[in-house]
Every structure is written in C-alpha cells, then in structure tokens.
Chain A
Amino acid sequence: MDFTEDQIQRYSRHILLQDVGVEGQEKINKGKVLIVGAGGLGAPIALYLAAAGVGTIGIIDGDVVDLSNLQRQIIHFTPDVNKPKVISAKEKLNLINPDVNVITYQELLTAENAERIIRDYDFVVDGTDNFPVKFLINDACVIAKKPFSHGGILRFDGQTLTYVPGSACYRCLFHSPPPPNAVPTCSQAGVLGAIAGMLGTIQAAEVLKYLTGVGDLLTNRLLTFNAKTMEFRTIKSKPNNNCPVCGSHPTVTGLVDYEQAVCDIESHRKQK
C-alpha cells in the first residue's frame, strides 16, 4: 500500500523505528483487533491502537457509561454518561484516527456469541473486569487458535500475559474461575485509576508487537506489578499438560458462561 502524505506524517514515529518501518506500519494498518470491554483497560488499549493505525478495531461491551467509570475509563468523557460505552468509544477513536474502521458490538461476550465474534479478528484483547468472561475469552481463543492478551487489575495490582497457540494459556496458570464472590471485582474493591492505563498500555504494546512481529511477546510469562511498591515481576510459565483446555486430555471442549458474582449482575442490570 502507498501511504498518503497525511499518513506519512501521522505514522512517522513508527516509520522511523528500524524494527517497525514502512513494512511494520503496513502490518499495523492491516491488523484486525477485538477489544473485549470498553472500560478501564479497553480505554487505553483502544486509544493507542487507533492512534497507531490498527486498521480494524472491534469493541464489545454491553454497558452504558456511568459517572463512576470516568475516574479511570479515559475514553469516556463527562457528557458521555448514560451513553453506550461502545458508541462513546467509537466516537473518540474516529476523532483520533479517521483511518480506523471501528466495529461495535453493544452486547456482552457470551458462550453463544464468542466464537462468531472473535473469528474475524487477528488478535483479541481481554479488557474485562470479571473472571467468567476472562475464562470465556481464554477458552474461545485457545479452541479457535487465536492469539490474545489477558489483563486484570484490582486495587493497586495488575497482571498480564500474552497467549499464542502453543504457549501457556490463562488456564495453564489459573485452572478455573474462583467461586462467585470469593474475589472482589473492581466495582467492589476499588482500583487506582492510573493502573488501568499502566496495564492497558502494556497490552496495547503487546498487540503492536504481535502485528509487526517485533520483539519477544509476553508468552510463557506472567507479568505482575504493584503500584504501591512500583515493583514489576515476570514469572516464567510453560504449557501445562494437565490444563483443562489446552492440556493433553482437555475437559473444556466447548464454551460455557460461568456464574457471575451477584452484585456484578445487579450493577449491570442497574445500568441498563
């Protein structure tokens, strides 16, 4: 593809990079990335990927913007309160970069729709706030052989890993979802707003690395950090032969919707 003068200006700082260059930028422009959740993580992920020129960005989220979201979900602004998050997000992405084709899904990712939705994308990013959907994304991507980035934040902590077919998946490390209400979610426990940006931008960088083929992905590694001590750790992992979805005798062979914590469902209902 030939870049226009505007595109040369817009993407000049990528083109300058030896590892990205014209060829890498073309790969970014051809990339198709699905972001699950237009919240704390999805906001910086979507903003950076649109700014980078990712050609097609899908965003799925069934919620509307709530005033309590604005402390960290930086893609949504005060006048967006009560607007569907995917619409609010699409408006900002179109403003940042009109080159990007933004596809919105105003619904929750479920066992019923996951396979159909992720099929069209090169890479999936988990920007969700609950375990049932995190496991659903993992299982759907492992079964469909689709690379994805897992990310989770709570209070002052964040963790992320990248999966490509053959590497350790989320279930290799975390066997199954915790019982409902065993682990508080952000909406119950709180979260320092800025750590959504810290983790989300790491995930966005992983997407760009995947699309361009630059560097070493966060595969077979779990990155964790705590913002109070500002210490980052990388824990090595490997594919688990006993993993229920990617091990040698998988017990998870289809998708299921795990039970959500009751207060999460109620908060979703309240917002509708």
Chain B
Amino acid sequence: MANYKLDITKEHCPMTFVKTKIELSKLKSGDILEVLLSEGEPLENVPRSSTEQGFKVLSITEAAVKGTHLVQIQK
C-alpha cells in the first residue's frame, strides 16, 4: 500500500524523474511512493530510471484517466 502520492502528468522529461527523485528523497527506506504519470516518455523512463538508481518498482497499473498510469516505487 502506497503511503505517498505524486502527480507528474503535467511534467516533461527530465523533470518527470527529477520530481520523482525529490519526493523519494523525503521518504524513509521502505516507504512506497505512488506516481501518476502519462504514457509515452514518462511511462518508459521513470520506472527504468528508478530501477537504475536503486529504487524498486513494485507495480505499474492503468489509472482511471485514459493514457495515465500509476507506478508504485519503493525507496
């Protein structure tokens, strides 16, 4: 269950991952951040960059609004 939420649907690369990192920096190890993002570049890059930088991508699911997804990232 995600404890924290972040909406980056209005951001563009690279600010999508920058904003994600800033939110993650405020969390404790083990905390889960749920990120709402758009398909395309954000959906391709944010999970990949998160994994590369040592975070754990727990799940990627379609969100209510068409073209958006929820990505759960654990610190």
Residues of A within 8 A of B (CB): 3, 8-9, 12-13, 15-16, 18, 21-23
Contacts and interface: CB of A to CB of B under 8 A. Distances in A.
15 contacts: A8-B15, A8-B18, A9-B15, A12-B14, A12-B15, A13-B14, A15-B18, A16-B17, A16-B18, A16-B49, A18-B52, A18-B54, A21-B21, A21-B25, A22-B22
Interface in B47-67: 49, 52-54
Given A8-B18, A15-B21, A22-B22, 11 more contacts: A8-B19, A9-B15, A12-B14, A12-B15, A15-B22, A16-B14, A16-B17, A16-B18, A16-B49, A18-B52, A23-B25
A12 B12 CA distance: 12
A22 B15 contact: no
Interface string B19-38: 10110010000000000000
B21 A16 contact: yes
Given A3-B22, A8-B19, A23-B25, A18 B14 contact: no
Contacts of B25: 21-23
A21 B18 CA distance: 9
Contacts of B14: 12-13, 16
B70 to A, nearest CB: 22
Contacts of A9: 15
Nearest to B52: A18
B52 A12 contact: no
Contacts of A16: 14, 17-18, 21, 49
A15 B21 CA distance: 8
Nearest to B25: A22
Q: Considering residues B17, B18, B53, which has the most beta carbons from chain A within 10 angstroms of its beta carbon? A: B18
B33 to A, nearest CB: 14
A110 B21 CA distance: 45
Contacts of A21: 21, 25, 53
Contacts of A18: 52-54
A242 B25 CA distance: 47
A8 B23 CA distance: 12
B22 A8 contact: yes
B75 to A, nearest CB: 12
Nearest to A3: B22
Interface string B32-46: 000000000000000
Contacts of A13: 14
Contacts of A22: 21-22, 25
Contacts of B49: 16
A12 B15 CA distance: 7
B15 to A, nearest CB: 6
A21 B50 CA distance: 12
B54 A12 contact: no
Contacts of B54: 18
B68 to A, nearest CB: 22
Nearest to A23: B25
Contacts of A15: 18, 21-22
A30 to B, nearest CB: 15
A15 B17 CA distance: 9
B24 to A, nearest CB: 8
